[in-house]
Amino acid sequence: MMEAHSSGLGRKRKREELNGEMKEAECFRKLPRRTLGLTEPAPFADELVAAKTLYVRVSMEEARRGTPEDRPVRVYADGIFDMFHSGHARALMQAKCLFPNTHLIVGVCSDDLTHKFKGFTVMNEDERYDAVSHCRYVDEVVRNAPWTLTPEFLSEHRIDFVAHDDIPYISAGSDDVYKHIKEAGMFAPTQRTEGISTSDIITRIVRDYDVYVRRNLQRGYTAKELNVSFINEKKYHLQEHVDKVKQKVRDVEEKSKEFVQKVEEKGIDLIQKWEEKSREFIGNFLQMFGPDGALKHMLKEGKGRMLQAISPRQSPSSSPVREERSPSPTFRLPFFTSSPFFSPPLPHHSGSHYTGKDEDD
């Protein structure tokens, strides 16, 4: 009944109504930062005291203008609400925000009617009743709601308007189960939430059946509880073991990639540092041993000093005349003194020769 269609799921959803009359942002004004949640679920209609005042239905114009606080506009929305999800909650929020003063009544069909006209449900009727009663927008829950709304039912629950999307709902041999409501001017359209529905969720589960069976086997459910044969149980366990091995291999690969990446980064750092040090070393080497290096200057300077040290000093051009030395005194031995027996030898003149005593005589 009130089930959303499936298309792409996204966080940002279309907020504006197709008829351009209302936006969801207009439903709630900005409020202080405080908790607005209710402390109790919505009551069930069959547990409430029946009203004794005369029921007079309000018109659409009166409802839009606003009604007295003690006479809210009573809006009814019905559905299956199986596996209650955000699409359901948003539809109920739209119904709640149709008018300034709204009392939202939600009808939930029983299992018998649902299985007869729509199909088997995942949640039973009690679970679905309880899920709807805990929605914050709901003021009252009608259990075992009818599939087709009758005038008696509308009068019994003092309903002013019925909220549903305006797409014709073909069911129970009718082209549109809400056709008579629309003709009576009691229909208030809402919009479906794209991307989420009960059928979509069930499709996901059926599509990935093996994944969810293995998931529940891991969580302690037995094969009997899951209606799984012995062979399939062993197959799922084997698949789970293989997946664990694959996951370990992936983890090792990831760690290996991280290790290789770190080694590459460190290698790049080392190469860069080596290049910097090598440039510094080459620069220092050239500065010391290059053509114009410090060593060459040191050698030149040392060579100059050595040449200066070993070369003789030049005599000055105007040096004074050296004085002749006085002859050294004759040194005579004591036994060479003059005596009658000794006379010093005569000097030898050229062209003459020495004659002895006999010649003189």
Residues in Cβ contact with 106 at an 8 Å cutoff, skipping those fewer than 6 apart:
42, 76, 77, 78, 79, 81, 92, 132, 135, 138, 140, 141, 142
Of the candidates 141, 121, 146, the residue with the CA atom closest to the CA atom of residue 129: 141
pTM metric for this prediction: 0.60
Which two three-digit tokens encode residue 352? 């003459």
Q: How far is 265 from 274, CA to CA, in rounded Å?
A: 14
Measured torsion, CA atoms of residues 290, 294, 299, 304, in degrees rounded to the nearest 10: 130
pLDDT of residue 318: 54
With residue 76 as reference, give the H or E element that holds it.
Answer: strand 73-79
pLDDT of residue 53: 82
With residue 105 as reference, give the H or E element that holds it.
Answer: strand 102-108
Which two three-digit tokens encode residue 112? 């018998």
Q: Is residue 107 classed as helix, strand or coil in its secondary structure? A: strand
Which two three-digit tokens encode residue 347? 């000097």
Which two three-digit tokens encode residue 99? 């008018």
Domain 45-195 has CATH 3.40.47.10: no
pLDDT of residue 272: 86
- Residue ranges in the chain assigned as alpha helix (H): 60-65, 86-96, 111-117, 125-133, 151-156, 179-183, 198-207, 209-218, 230-289, 294-310, 357-360
Q: In what order do the strands lie in the sheet with 73-79?
A: 140-143, 102-108, 73-79, 161-165, 187-190
pLDDT of residue 12: 39
How do the domains of the chain map onto residue ranges?
Answer: 45-195, 199-299
Which two three-digit tokens encode residue 299? 């050698």
Strand partners, 74: 103
On whether the CB atoms of residues 105 and 140 are closer than 8 A, the answer is yes
Which two three-digit tokens encode residue 340? 């009658």
Q: How far is 58 from 98, CA to CA, in rounded Å?
A: 14
Tell me the angle at which helices 294-310 and 230-289 cross, rounded to the nearest 10 degrees.
30
pLDDT digit of tens for each residue in the chain (361 aa)?
Answer: 554 433 333 433 444 444 444 444 455 555 555 555 678 999 999 999 888 888 889 999 999 998 888 899 999 999 999 999 999 999 999 999 999 999 999 999 999 999 999 999 999 999 999 999 999 999 999 999 999 999 999 999 999 999 999 888 888 778 899 999 999 999 999 999 998 999 999 999 999 988 889 889 889 999 898 898 989 888 888 888 888 898 999 899 888 888 888 888 888 888 888 888 888 888 788 777 777 767 777 777 777 777 777 876 665 555 555 555 555 555 454 544 454 444 555 555 444 444 444 444 3
The per-type count for the chain, helices as H runs and strands as E runs, is 11, 5
